[in-house]
Amino acid sequence: MASPPLVVTAVEPVVLRAPIKLNLFLHINGKISEGRFADYHRLQTYFQRVDYGDELHFRVTESPELIVHWQAGAESLSHRPASMQQDLVWRAAQSLQQLAQARGLPVGGAQILLIKHAPVGGGLGGGSSAAATTLRALNQLWSLHFPAGDLMELGRRLGADVPIFVAGVNAWADGIGDQLTPMPSPLAGHWFVIAAPQSHRPTAASFAHPDLVKNTPLNSPDWLPRWRTDGFNAFETQCLQEPAIAECHAALHAVTGFARLTGSGACVFTTQATAAEAQRAAEEISRKIKTTDRLIVAPALANDPLPDAH
């Protein structure tokens, strides 16, 4: 029996931003002993979404072909995947398309333009966010309306950071970072200054580094108010051995009294209460460092949870 014709729901491109994230702290608590992620590192963190990131333009098509183009924005294309099929955005679209086909639903294709702004290899989750934004967008544009649980599962298969962006919330995270407890942000209304050093950190090598702290005691979410004073990033010691990261960290700390690595590096962030204070801090920081690619000044994002559609 032939599938019903696909209704193209967007003639003009739909334009969305894929927000980056910061890890307010990142503790590693040993290894997971059983289940699908056995022998992976167990971690605890708080994911704070930030109103900055790649811009994605979606246009759905009747043909099933998936095409992803990259365009340079604030970030160059030097780290673009070698082939389109290796692109996390393409893989996200394909995974959603395959799920629809497996359930006998009519589905077409898409043309996606990604304008690259998020630093690559900086611990900001730019690629994961673009993949999650693709899942959320095409779920609606293809009129699939899969529930949140289905998209979260696709996200887990794509990468550990994808689920937080699929969920669209700020959250305490456990497991490999996929067990999420949405919580109000301790930095609601605040602004961030993020330094992107001339350094890129491969995650696998960072987890294997001998200086990695892997035995931090577990905390419960009510510990979150102490994130600044009692928290830390387990990767920071090794990353500060790199001069470019160390210089950025020192400059942010000198100007604002606080600096912390995000993810497994290499980006470093600090916080300010207002946009004006953040901009003033960024101007002073920029005069102190020579090895940063750029500084990002952007506000914290509130929750934008994915509805559990049926």
Domain end marker among 162, 182, 202:
182
Q: What is the mean pLDDT of residues 127-132?
A: 97
Same domain, 128 and 253: no
pLDDT at 7 over 50: no
Question: How many domains does the chain divide into?
Answer: 2
Q: Give the range among 113-117, 204-208, 242-246 with minimum mean pLDDT.
A: 204-208
pLDDT, tens only, 106-115: 999 999 999 9
Percentage of the chain lying above the pLDDT 90 cut: 81
Burial class (CB in 10 A: 0-12, 13-18, 19+), 241: exposed
SS3 (DSSP) at 115: strand
| Predicted local distance difference test score (pLDDT) of residue 308 | 61
Torsions phi, psi of 157, nearest 5? -70, -25
Same domain, 25 and 144: yes
| Cβ 107 vs Cβ 76: under 8 Å | no
Considering the domain boundaries, does residue 277 fall inside one? Answer: yes
Q: What is the mean pLDDT of residues 20-47?
A: 92
Domain end marker among 182, 203, 224:
182
Considering the domain boundaries, does residue 305 fall inside one? Answer: no
Same domain, 103 and 31: yes
Considering the domain boundaries, does residue 58 fall inside one? Answer: yes
Same domain, 123 and 199: no
pLDDT, tens only, 130-139: 999 999 999 9
Q: What is the mean pLDDT of residues 41-51?
A: 96
Torsions phi, psi of 60, nearest 5? -85, 155
Question: Nearest Cα to 141, choosing from 226, 221, 198, 56?
Answer: 56
Which residues span the domain enclosing 273? 191-299
| Predicted local distance difference test score (pLDDT) of residue 309 | 42
| Cβ 300 vs Cβ 191: under 8 Å | yes
Same domain, 103 and 130: yes
Domain end marker among 133, 155, 182:
182
pLDDT, tens only, 258-276: 999 999 989 999 999 999 9
Catalytic positions? 21, 161
pLDDT at 127 over 50: yes
SS3 (DSSP) at 9: coil
Which string of DSSP letters, residue by residue, matches 131-158? HHHHHHHHHHHTT----HHHHHHHHHHH
Q: Give the range among 55-64, 188-197, 198-207, 210-219 with minimum mean pLDDT.
A: 198-207
pLDDT, tens only, 289-309: 987 779 999 999 998 887 664
DSSP state at residue 303: -
| Predicted local distance difference test score (pLDDT) of residue 5 | 38
Same domain, 20 and 112: yes
| Predicted local distance difference test score (pLDDT) of residue 201 | 67
| Predicted local distance difference test score (pLDDT) of residue 213 | 84
Same domain, 158 and 252: no
What residues contact 214, with CB distance under 8 A and at least 6 apart?
28, 29, 30, 31, 41, 234
Considering the domain boundaries, does residue 176 fall inside one? Answer: yes
Query: Cα(301)–Cα(19) distance, rounded to whole angstroms?
Result: 8
| Predicted local distance difference test score (pLDDT) of residue 34 | 85
Same domain, 161 and 206: no
Q: What is the pTM of this model?
A: 0.92
Distance of CA 89 to CAs 37, 66, 94, 225, 262, Å?
Answer: 23, 10, 9, 35, 22
Considering the domain boundaries, does residue 5 fall inside one? Answer: no
Residue entry with tokens 């009747």? 62
pLDDT-based confidence at residue 166 (cuts at 50, 70, 90): very high
Considering the domain boundaries, does residue 221 fall inside one? Answer: yes
pLDDT at 277 over 90: yes
Same domain, 210 and 166: no
Percentage of the chain lying above the pLDDT 70 cut: 94
Q: What is the mean pLDDT of residues 70-80?
A: 94
Which string of DSSP letters, residue by residue, matches 179-247? EEEE---TTTT-EEEEEEES----HHHHHT-TT---BPPP--GGGGGGHHHH--BTTHHHHTTSHHHHH
pLDDT, tens only, 170-201: 999 999 998 999 999 999 999 999 999 987 76
Q: What is the mean pLDDT of residues 208-235?
A: 93
Same domain, 61 and 150: yes
Strand-pairing partners, residue 181, are 172
Same domain, 52 and 110: yes
Considering the domain boundaries, does residue 3 fall inside one? Answer: no
Same domain, 22 and 109: yes
pLDDT at 6 over 70: no
Considering the domain boundaries, does residue 51 fall inside one? Answer: yes
- In this structure, what CATH number is given to the domain that contains residue 48? 3.30.230.10
Question: Do you know the residue count of the chain?
Answer: 310
- In this structure, what CATH number is given to the domain that contains residue 250? 3.30.70.890
